[in-house]
Amino acid sequence: MVAVSDEGQFGLAASVLGISQQAVSKRIAKLEGQLGAPLFERRIGNVALTAHGARFLPHARSILASADAAIAAVRDSQVLRVAVHGAQIADANLMRFYLEKHPDAEVELIMMGPSTTSRNAVIDCRVDIAFARPHWHTRPLPAHITAVPAYLGALHLLVGNGHPLADRDHVEFDDLDGLTAWVPGAGFDSEVGDFYGRLSESCGITITTEQHPGGIGFANIVDRIADSTTLVTFGGEGTTTPWHPNIRRIPIVNPTPAYPMALLWRETITTHPQFTSLIDFITGSYNGKAVSTMWIPEPDRALFQR
């Protein structure tokens, strides 16, 4: 119930939970039957809490928090919990590479989503370490959280083969002015949404985050962009984007917009036996020279120019 509320869709909640959409629907229906009241209003493309659901939600969150605390109390302390943005995003790919090179590392990857970000997870002590954009003025990092630069995710433009830009071998940053980019994952109150808001202000591109019947998963985003002659979206250089025969990937230059990912951790985790190896790997692979050719939000620049 909490996942559906956070993600706004049964399909996206299913992806976060690692189960089928049908299973999520059945569990919600069973819970509603037990309570004798509807928790969600089903709409085209999304769901919304009913009045009953809004009253039930904080109690559900409290139950989950208690369960997480109980598990953490008895969890093997050798396991390092690392939050990443999602299974297909660059930080997850980077961590998979690390684990392939360190097969004995006791690391658990925690997949986050657009509404429950990895940044919030480490601040709220639900994970030990997180890949996340460090700056967000709405919720500044507390003093006990350390941040080091980890990865600059260069963004490419994704367009359908019927789009006017489809034949271009590159686009200038200033060419983004006047375009409309569909980025549904930026439609949440988060550091990700703030990033795309700042990008829009800087280059003039319009960011639309409207919900769509197919959901906000990568496959649906790519399908919609492939069929559109007006919409574009962004694909990260290190992100595994679903292949589509009608999608064109176009580099953006002068400068290249990039999503700045830092590694964030709580000060109490520095004595963890898995900590030093991971930090050394991430900081050793970070390419700080690339930032000179990239656009990133100004509040993030000082950290990433190290």
Q: What is the pLDDT of residue 160?
A: 98
Q: What is the β-pairing status of strands 256-266 and 145-160?
A: antiparallel
Beta strands per DSSP E along the chain: 40-42, 47-49, 80-84, 107-111, 129-132, 145-160, 171-172, 180-182, 206-208, 231-236, 247-253, 256-266, 294-295
Check for a shared fold between 1-73 and 152-257: no
**Domain topology for 1-73:** Arc Repressor Mutant, subunit A (1.10.10)
Higher pLDDT, 193 or 46: 193
The full set of domain ranges for the chain reads 1-73, 152-257
Whether 61 shows a pLDDT value over 90: the answer reads no
For the chain, the 3-state helix, strand and coil shares in percent, each to the nearest 5, are: 40, 25, 35
Distance between CA atoms of residues 129 and 110, nearest Å = 10
Q: What is the pLDDT of residue 213?
A: 67
The mean of the pLDDT values for the chain is: 90
Whether 43 shows a pLDDT value over 90: the answer reads no
The pLDDT tens digits for 134-180 are: 999 999 999 999 999 999 999 999 999 999 999 999 999 999 999 99
Closest listed residue to residue 60, CA positions, set 22, 31, 101: 31
Q: How sure is the predictor about 4, in pLDDT bands with cuts at 50, 70 and 90?
A: confident
Beta strands per DSSP E along 32-116: 40-42, 47-49, 80-84, 107-111
The pLDDT tens digits for 65-109 are: 777 667 666 655 579 999 999 888 999 999 999 999 999 999 999
Higher pLDDT, 23 or 165: 165
Q: What is the pLDDT of residue 73?
A: 61
Q: What is the pLDDT of residue 72?
A: 60
- Average pLDDT of span 288-304: 95
Give the architecture-level CATH label for domain 152-257.
3-Layer(aba) Sandwich (3.40)
Least confident window among 21-25, 34-38, 175-179: 21-25
- % of residues, the chain, pLDDT over 70: 94
Q: What is the pLDDT of residue 215?
A: 67
The pLDDT tens digits for 221-280 are: 999 999 999 999 999 999 988 889 999 999 999 999 999 999 999 989 999 999 999 999
Which residue type does 44 have?
Answer: I
| Long-range pairs of 46-53 with CB within 8 A, sequence gap ≥ 24 | 46/8, 46/9, 46/211, 47/4, 47/8, 47/9, 47/10, 48/8, 49/5, 53/1, 53/5
Residue whose token pair is 């002015």: 177
